[in-house]
């Protein structure tokens, strides 16, 4: 993030307005290019919330790998492309025949300061990274091993680091992420040792009393989610309050890390919240 740009991690449970709230940025004068990993993303809500005279300020592509049913369950149908195409977004090298809307996007280090790159959701990027690594290591049919998980997590984290590198992405950035709950890891149990299982269960119960569950952005595995927020200077939460009112929360609580280095209200309306945060950060720079 530079004094002229803002890079935000926006977390929330499903249907809390993470995708729709980006309309406030377009209504405030920004142009938004959305890279979606979810073909079921709530793009209709996003479009409906955009002022009619600014609807051409939204461009989007959907990246997804083809899946088929194999003898051992669902598996990749052909070579995965989503993760490589995400990289091509940054390089400005997307296939114009496949993604005609992005034919003139160019590399993200040349995008102007009134542009917002949006990635939605972070978990979809993780699945694409895993599919990429499974194909790369020849594990599509056998499934991931511990080394596969580590490689895929590294790929996802490195991509997040690149998004936050101003020499790679020179414009504004919004990454939407679902929330995952992580607590103590359950110990491995032996099927034929009741005493061992009982001891480990008691240890786990004690850990649950002492170690709180925390909320993190949904990324691959258990080790990566707690690290994601550290790559962003701004972290907010989209949530639905009692009564159905949706807000953008800018204050932390014991279960979730939030950071907004600007003077804004603790809860902002979902319809204008992101634009208010952008304005406050850029004016205070």
pTM across the whole model = 0.90
Domain boundaries, the chain: 7-183+214-284
Distance CA 279, CA 285 (A): 10
Report the C-alpha gap between 125 and 82 in whole angstroms. 8
Residuewise pLDDT in 10s, the chain (285 residues): 556 799 999 999 999 999 999 999 999 999 999 999 987 777 888 999 999 999 999 999 999 999 998 887 889 999 999 999 999 999 999 999 999 999 999 999 999 999 999 999 999 999 999 999 999 999 998 889 999 999 999 999 999 999 999 999 999 999 999 999 998 665 554 555 565 556 655 655 555 454 568 999 999 999 999 999 999 999 999 999 999 999 999 998 889 999 999 999 999 999 999 999 999 999 875
Query: CB count, 10 Å around CB of 103?
Result: 12
Contacts of 234 (CB under 8 A, 6+ apart): 1, 6, 7, 8, 9, 259, 260, 261, 277, 281
Nearest to 180 by CA among 233, 220, 128: 220
CATH class of 7-183+214-284: alpha beta
């Amino acid at each position: 993030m530079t004094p002229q740009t803002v890079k935000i991690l926006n977390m929330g449970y499903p249907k809390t307005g993470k995708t729709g709230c980006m309309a406030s940025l377009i209504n405030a004068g920004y142009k938004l290019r959305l890279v979606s990993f979810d073909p079921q993303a709530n793009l209709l809500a996003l479009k409906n919330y955009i002022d009619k005279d600014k609807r051409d300020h939204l461009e989007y592509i959907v990246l997804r790998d083809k899946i088929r049913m194999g003898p051992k369950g669902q598996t990749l149908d052909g070579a995965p492309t989503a993760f490589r195409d995400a990289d091509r977004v940054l390089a400005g090298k997307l296939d114009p025949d496949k993604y005609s809307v992005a034919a003139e996007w160019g590399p993200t280090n040349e995008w102007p300061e009134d542009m917002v790159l949006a990635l939605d959701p972070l978990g979809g990027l993780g699945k694409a990274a895993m599919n990429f690594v499974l194909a790369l290591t020849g594990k599509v049919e056998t499934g991931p091993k511990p080394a596969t998980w580590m490689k895929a997590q590294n790929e996802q984290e490195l991509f997040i680091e690149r998004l936050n590198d101003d020499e790679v992405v020179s414009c504004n950035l919004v990454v939407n992420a679902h929330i995952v709950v992580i607590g103590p890891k359950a110990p491995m149990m032996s099927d034929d040792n009741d005493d061992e299982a009982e001891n480990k269960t008691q240890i786990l119960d004690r850990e649950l009393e002492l170690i709180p569950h925390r909320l993190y952005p949904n990324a691959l595995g258990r080790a990566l989610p707690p690290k994601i927020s550290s790559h962003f200077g701004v972290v907010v939460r989209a949530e639905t309050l009692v009564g159905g009112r949706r807000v953008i929360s800018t204050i932390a609580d014991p279960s979730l890390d939030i950071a907004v280095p600007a003077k804004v209200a603790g809860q902002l309306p979902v319809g204008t919240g992101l634009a208010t945060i952008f304005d406050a950060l850029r004016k205070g720079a």
